[in-house]
Amino acid sequence: MDHTFLKRVVVYSLAKAGPGAMVLFTTLYYINTVGPKIYGEYALAISIVGVAEAALVNWIFVSIGRYFYDSSFSNNECFRTVFQLTAAISIAAIAGGFAAFFLLEDRHLGALLLLGTALFIAQSWYDLELQIAATQMLQTRYGVLALVRATLMLCAGVTSVYLSLGSYGLIAAAILGCSVPALSRTALRRWAGLRWLHVEVGLIRKLFRFGVPLAGSFLCMMLMLATDRLLLGWFNGPVEVGLYAASSDLTNLSVAFTLNVVNLAGYPAIVKAFENGGLAAAKPAMEVQAAVLLLVIGPFVLVFVSFAPEVARVALGHEYATVAPSVIPWIAVSTAVAGFRAFYADLAFQLGHQTQGQLFISVGAVVLNLLLGLLLVPKFGAWGAAVATAVTQIVALCASIGLGRAWALKLPFPPRPLLTIAVAFALAQTLALFMPQPTGITAFAIATTAVLSVYAAALIIADFAGLRSLLVKMLMRTANAGSS
């Protein structure tokens, strides 16, 4: 395995570990203190902001990541164009938010809308800073930005809970967390040094052609992720959303954190290699990306599927015990499948300039998820929402792999690493099936360690990514050092 890739994985893991742990702690703190109703309102607001950001600005960030190494444009031209587009969308959002506020009769809903608009703007500029840092492979800056956001969000969130500010306070904490790093000295100096009024029509046109289908695709992806909560809110109210969102957020934050680290380490290198030498040059980096994504997916799915009741009891508390054990396994599967699709399978469309294909699949997935949700949610509630999402994600992944190879690029799928991971997962899952369900933190830790040890041992025996060879070398080096 490429040592440069592993180094970037380690650096990004360290950069995201602290912030990721703080965000997870903040989420669990909210879940266990504010109650399902308030957390449900907060979760709905976050979901709607996510849908808006995916539709309106995320395509800009992905497009600039795709074309940053394009020799046709300078870095300053790229930065200026991104600033102009993001600023224009932010101004439009402010106008739309205030217009909707004055049209709404429900003051509570209007206040949530204004706070949501502010969060949309703050989060957009924060995510832009993260994208620039990731594209330039500035791992330290990426980590500092994430740490500042997580720290401010935690402190402000705890304060808002203490002051009983309800969902308003939780959303305001998220706004503060995003705003400060987005307004850092480095960011302000970068934007101040640009000729704001000079428009790069050619670059905008290029980004537009590449990004508009992605905008639709991202919108569909976020709609698919938000449909379960929106349907639960429609049929069952915010309390049911809170019960479901607690399980969903716990699982998503855990799995998505690791998959994002792998993508941050691998994606810029894949794009750079592809721009310089085409598919043949990028193939080694792609194979590593696919193998490592599947490698890290395994442990999370094993734990969440095998020990869901104890995960729910330890992390979420008794209020969520009726819902969480039945939905956590399905959410774990859907998150893992969605992550592999987004961070690997969809590369065929993005690198092959066929983002319309990605949009086609995403629209189909939204329709399928909506139909399954309408069929299952009224009767089965949160469990139905989780099953609908998991089935949809699996179908979307299969479509992305098949149509991506047919319409865009034939991404490599290295058979030996994939088979090795599948066998290791099957052995560990077999052990979990024959183990009694653990009760208590100690028993849970022992059971988890046993299952993951089998998974790791199988990979080492098969010499996955040279792990066995590396361990042998380390042991021999240690033995030689001891004898001397």
pLDDT of residue 74: 62
Q: 86 with 209, same domain? A: yes
**Minimum mean pLDDT among 6-10, 179-183, 218-222: which range?**
6-10
Q: 390 with 351, same domain? A: yes
pLDDT classification of 75: cutoffs 50, 70, 90: low
Q: 215 with 163, same domain? A: yes
Q: 315 with 460, same domain? A: no
Q: Is the pLDDT of residue 194 over 60?
A: yes
DSSP-assigned letter for residue 352: T
Mean pLDDT of all residues belonging to the chain: 83
d(CA 168, CA 114): 10
Q: Is the pLDDT of residue 76 over 70?
A: no
Q: 347 with 479, same domain? A: no
List own/partner pairs for 86-94 with CB under 8 A and 24 or more apart.
86/57, 86/60, 86/124, 86/125, 86/128, 89/56, 89/57, 89/124, 90/121, 90/124, 90/125, 93/52, 93/56, 93/117, 93/120, 93/121, 94/121
Q: What percent of the chain has pLDDT over 90?
A: 23
How far is CA 363 from each of CA 116, 367, 390, rounded to the nearest angstrom?
25, 6, 16
Residue where a domain stops, chosen among 379, 413, 447: 413
pLDDT of residue 484: 57
Name the E strands within 60-125: none
Q: Is the pLDDT of residue 478 over 80?
A: no
d(CA 53, CA 123): 8
248-281 as b/e: b if 16+ CB within 10 A: bbbbbbbbbbbbbbbbbbbbbbbbbbbbeeebee
Q: 284 with 428, same domain? A: no
pLDDT of residue 1: 54
Number of domains in the chain: 2
d(CA 7, CA 315): 31
pLDDT of residue 376: 93
Q: Show the domain range for 470.
A: 422-484
Q: 363 with 395, same domain? A: yes
Q: Is the pLDDT of residue 387 over 90?
A: yes
Residue where a domain stops, chosen among 413, 448, 463: 413
Q: 482 with 386, same domain? A: no
Please tell me the total number of residues recorded for the chain in this structure. Answer: 484
pLDDT classification of 116: cutoffs 50, 70, 90: very high
Q: 307 with 435, same domain? A: no
Residue where a domain stops, chosen among 396, 413, 430: 413
Average confidence (pLDDT) over 291-317: 85
pLDDT of residue 254: 77
CA dihedral 99, 103, 107, 108 (to 10 degrees): -70
Residue type, 71: S
How far is CA 76 from each of CA 73, 91, 166, 190, rounded to the nearest angstrom?
8, 22, 43, 9
| Residue range 199-245, pLDDT digits in tens | 777 777 777 777 777 677 777 777 777 788 888 888 887 788 888 88
pLDDT of residue 275: 79
pLDDT of residue 72: 58
| Residue range 394-433, pLDDT digits in tens | 999 999 999 988 888 888 887 888 888 889 999 999 998 8
Average confidence (pLDDT) over 356-384: 89
pLDDT of residue 62: 73
Q: 159 with 201, same domain? A: yes
Q: 370 with 428, same domain? A: no
Q: 65 with 102, same domain? A: yes
